[in-house]
Amino acid sequence: MPVTITLNFTPAEETEVAAILGCSIADLNNQLNTCAKASLSEYLTMFRGQKVFKRGSDMLEYRLLLLIENTFNGEIPDERTVSSLFQTTLTESRSIIKSVISKFQYQLRPHIDNTLKATLQRATRQNNTQDYTVVINSQNVVNELNKTLADIDGSLSEIIKKKGSVSTFEIPPSSYNQLCNKFHIQANP
């Protein structure tokens, strides 16, 4: 069923909301429509008595689930994105994401896998003797990759933060190749 709403923004509000959502002003309408779909889904489940929340954290987690499914193209957002949307600290955002991944693990499995695949596809290395490196802005993604490595073979080397970097991680070639095999993606040279 098509639902149409009209929002009245001042130019300053439009610029601010576009910046918060990480999109251009030209793409703001499309981005808000994906958010509206998530929020309407939340309301409809409440109206129908399908989801009744007793705690505020449960509501935040469910909202994030709906945003992942409707707004983030099926990828798990990083802590900074969640912080800008939910007005939470990075630590609180990390905890919300971790809870969502845990509580909705079966429902989110395809989205988690897509996030991990996208991360692996961004990994590069200078030459055949070095580890792969990739910028990962979410500790939860690092944790999921390391859990996957443990599931594949507990003797594989874990993904670790590159010394002296803020969010660059190193993936040993053997671990990288096993992850690529697991997710059926082409390994970067």
pLDDT tens column, 88-146:
999 999 999 999 999 999 999 999 999 999 999 999 998 888 999 999 999 999 999 99
Tokens of 152: 């594949």
Would you list the DSSP string of 93-148?
HHHHHHHHHHHTHHHHHHHHHHHHHHHHHH-B-SSTTSPEEEE---HHHHHHHHHH
Side chain identity, residue 170? E
SS3 category, 78 = coil
Q: What angle do CA 30, 86, 77 make, to 5 degrees?
A: 65
* CB 104, CB 96: distance < 8 Å: no
pTM: 0.78
**Separation between Cα atoms, residue 47 and residue 31, nearest integer Å:** 25
SS3 category, 169 = strand
pLDDT tens column, 46-84:
888 887 777 888 889 999 999 999 888 888 999 999 999
